[in-house]
Amino acid sequence: MQLNTKLIATFLGPIFFTLIILFFNPEGLPKQANAVLACTLWIATWWIFEVVSINVTALLPIIIFPLSGALELKAVTASYGHKYIFLFMGGFILAIAIEKWHLHKRIALNIIHLLGTGISKIILGFMLATAFMSMWISNTATSVMMLPIGMAIIQQVKDYPSTPEDENKIFGKALMLAIAYSASIGGIATLIGTPPNLVLAGVVEEIYGIEITFAQWFKFGLPISIVLLFICWLYLTKVAFKIKMDAFPGGRAEIKRLINELGRWSFEEKVVLGIFFLAATLWIFRSALQQFIPMLDDTIIAILVAMILFIFPSSNKKNPILEWKEAVKMPWGIMILFGGGMAIASAFQASGLANWVGSQFNLLRDLPIILLILMIITAVNFLTEITSNLATTAMLLPILAPMAISLNIHPYILLVSATLAASCAFMLPVATPPNAVVFGSGYLKISDMVKTGIWMNIISIILLSLFVYFVLNILWGFNPTTYPDSLR
C-alpha cells in the first residue's frame, strides 16, 4: 500500500506541475510566477509523500526552476550557499566535537545527579539535560545520546524487587516521552537549536533584508522553552503518568556509576567546553561587540569557533581537537534541504508570486489576530505530525509572508507562529526524530504516544498562541496590527 502511494505521488508531482503550467492562468498572475507555483506544487507533493528522501527532493529546484523559467540557475544555486547554511555548518562542527569527547554525556549526567533521585526529579533532570543539549546540538543527536542513559536507569529500577512491575512500565514510558518532548522543546530556545528557526531567519532576510540575530531569537525562544518544559514536566509526572512510589532505590548509584565511568575531565573536554562557552557568549553579546567590530555576524562566529577546533592541538600534540574526517559526518542533507527552502523563498519574491498569493487572502482580513494565530499554529502543528518540520516551514513561510500585506499585520506574527508550531509535534513516532528514537526503545506503543501527545499538542498550541500574541511584539519592538511601510 505504501509503495503504491509513493508510486502515485511520483507521477502526481509532475502532473500537478503540467496542469498548473498549461491551464492555471488567473488574471494578474505573471508567467514566471505561474512557473514558480507549478514547481512548488511538484516539490511539495514529493516532500509530503516522501517519494524520495526529502533531502533529495530539495535538489529539485536546481532542475525545474531554470527549465520552467521560474528562476535563473545562478539565483537558484546561490540559495544553497546562503549564509545561514554556514551558520548551521559551524554549529554542527561544534556539536561533533562535543560528542567526540563525550562532553554532552558528562553535562547531562551531572545535571541529573544534581537534581536527585526522586521520581519527579529524575524525570526533571533528564528533561533539563536533554533540553539544554538540544539548544546547541541537533535534537536527533541529543535524544540518541540520552536514550541509553535513560534505559540504564529504567533497567536499574527493574533490578529492585521492591519496585512493582507496573511502576517500572509507567516510569519507562514517562521517561522515554520526557526525553523526546524535551529534545523538541529545547530546540526552540536558540536559532541553531532546530532547523525551522534558521529557515525563518533565512526567509526574513531573503524577503525583507532583515537579520534575525541569535540574541534576538534567544530572548524570545528561551522563555517559551522554559515555560513549556516546566508545564510538560508537570503534565507527565502529575497527570499523564501517576507513579505511587516517591523514589526508586539505586537511581543515584546508577548515575554515579555512569559518571565514574567517564573518569576525570580530560584536557580535550575542557578545551571544547571553553570553545562552547566562547561561541555562546559571542552569539549572545554580538550586538554589543559590533560597536567595535561592525561586520561581526553569527555565521562568522560559527565558522570561527569551528576553525579553532581544527587548529587547537589535543593532549597528544599530534592531532587537533577535531579533524576534518570527523567533521564530514555532519548532516549535509539538512543543509541541502535548507537551501531548497531558500530557493523557493527567493523564487516567490523574484517572480511576483508572493504578492499575488498575498492578495488572495482578503477574506481573512476581518479575523481577530489571536484567532488567525491560533488557526496557523494548530494547522502547522498537526501537519508536522506527518511531514518533516523543516520541509513544512520551507513550504509555508514563503506563502505566509505575503499574506501579511493583505491582512495588514506585521509578517512576524504569521511567520513566527508557523515556525514555533513546526517544533511542537508530540503525537506520532514519525512526527519528529526524537519521537522515532524513543519509540524504538520498546517501552512505548503508538497508542501511548497518541493519547499523551495529543494533550501536549493542545498545551503547546495554546501557549505558543499566547506568546506570539502578547510577548513577541514587546520583545522585538513592532506594531502587530500594521504592515510596516519599510517592508513593502
pLDDT tens sequence across 5-43: 788 889 999 999 999 999 988 888 899 999 999 999 999
Rounded average pLDDT over 453-461: 96
Name the residue ranges covered by the structural domains of the chain: 83-327
* C-alpha cell at position 37: 507555483
* C-alpha cell at position 111: 545535571
φ and ψ at residue 462, rounded to 5 degrees? -65, -45
* pLDDT computed for residue 470 by the predictor: 96
* pLDDT computed for residue 61 by the predictor: 95
Rounded average pLDDT over 442-466: 92
DSSP letter at 484?
-
Rounded average pLDDT over 184-211: 91
Tell me how far apart the alpha carbons of residues 444 and 447 are, in angstroms, rounded to a whole number: 8
pLDDT tens sequence across 319-342: 999 999 999 988 888 788 888 888
Compute CA distances 241 → 175, 178, 235, 245, 435, whole Å: 10, 11, 8, 12, 18
Rounded average pLDDT over 441-465: 91
* pLDDT computed for residue 1 by the predictor: 43
pTM higher than the cut 0.95? no
The C-alpha angle with vertex 405 and arms to 404 and 406, in degrees rounded to 5, equals 95
Rounded average pLDDT over 296-302: 90
Rounded average pLDDT over 161-184: 82
Rounded average pLDDT over 303-327: 92
Question: Mean pLDDT in the chain?
Answer: 87
Tell me how far apart the alpha carbons of residues 286 and 215 are, in angstroms, rounded to a whole number: 8
* C-alpha cell at position 7: 508510486
**25 versus 118: which is more confidently predicted?**
25
